């Protein structure tokens, strides 16, 4: 199946560069470009892309508003939204993840990571720049007792996997570190999502930092 992608960024050069990278790959096509948030929402609702790459700062509607409109709570069959930004410690990114984005990348990532992020999002997974994951989530984790504490519901193995996700590990890396199969990792993640009512691994990572699971996991 061809992965249909929408690019939303107010810089034409960024959109052109991303299009060139993505359309050089088999099975990926860019169905539309948007120069502002209002245009992005309109195109997405009309064309129903599989994945949207959305800038965090755009005129009209910013990336958070676009994400909430397209993939927020209650939206039926939402597209997968990946935030692509230069603001690796910006709280706007955290807000976008809360609004329903499945991941984020820095704009200076190489072509391989950009392509991998699109394929991962399309497959129902997410790819987050590992350096950003640790630094930003650690910074933004609230210094308070968490409102939701489901730690007792998770097994020791599940807590290990939660900690690894929060550190930006891929499923393959988790499997190698814990000496388990890739399919076992995916099964554990599915169960963790159910127990935490998390929509994706991004929300698992945020829950981990909020509950300080990462520091416990080493």
Give which of 102, 117, 105, 119 is closest to 206, Cα–Cα. Answer: 102
Distance CA 59, CA 36 (A): 5
Please say if the pLDDT value at position 215 is more than 60: no
How far apart are the C-alpha atoms of 150 and 134, rounded to whole Å?
21
What pLDDT shows up at residue 204? 83
Q: Which of 25-39, 125-139, 165-179 has the highest mean pLDDT?
A: 25-39
Q: 133 pLDDT exceeds 80?
A: no
Could you tell me the pTM of the whole model? 0.68
pLDDT digits (tens, 9 = 90+) for 41-62: 999 999 999 999 999 889 999 9
Rounded mean pLDDT of 115-132?
77
Report strand pairing: 51-54 vs 28-34: unpaired
Highest mean pLDDT among 3-7, 107-111, 122-126: 3-7
Per-residue pLDDT of 184-211, as tens digits, reads 998 999 899 889 888 777 778 778 877 7
Query: Which residue's entry shows tokens 């981990």?
Result: 208
Per-residue confidence at 90, pLDDT binned at 50, 70, 90? Answer: low
Domains of the chain: 3-129 (3.40.50.2300), 141-217 (1.10.10.10)
Q: Decide if pLDDT at 217 tops 50.
A: no
């Amino acid at each position: 199946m061809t992965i249909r992608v929408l690019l939303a960024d107010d810089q034409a050069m960024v959109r052109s560069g991303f299009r060139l990278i993505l359309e050089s790959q088999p099975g990926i096509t860019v169905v539309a470009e948007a120069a502002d948030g209002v245009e992005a929402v309109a195109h997405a609702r009309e064309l129903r892309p599989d994945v949207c790459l959305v800038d965090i700062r755009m005129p009209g509607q910013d990336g958070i508003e676009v994400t909430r409109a397209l993939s927020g709570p209650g939206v039926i069959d939402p597209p997968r939204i990946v935030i692509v930004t230069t603001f690796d410690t910006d709280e706007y990114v955290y807000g976008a993840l809360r609004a329903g984005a499945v991941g984020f990348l820095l704009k200076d990532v190489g072509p391989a990571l950009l392509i991998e992020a699109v394929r991962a999002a399309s497959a129902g997974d997410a790819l987050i720049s590992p350096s950003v994951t640790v630094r930003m989530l650690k910074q933004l984790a609230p210094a308070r007792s968490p409102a939701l504490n489901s730690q007792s519901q998770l097994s020791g193995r599940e807590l290990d996997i939660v900690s690894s996700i929060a550190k930006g590990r891929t499923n393959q890396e988790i499997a190698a570190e814990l000496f388990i199969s890739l399919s076992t990792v995916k099964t554990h993640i599915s169960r963790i999502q159910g127990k935490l009512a998390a929509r994706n691994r991004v929300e698992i990572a945020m829950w981990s930092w909020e509950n300080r699971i990462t520091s416990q996991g080493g």
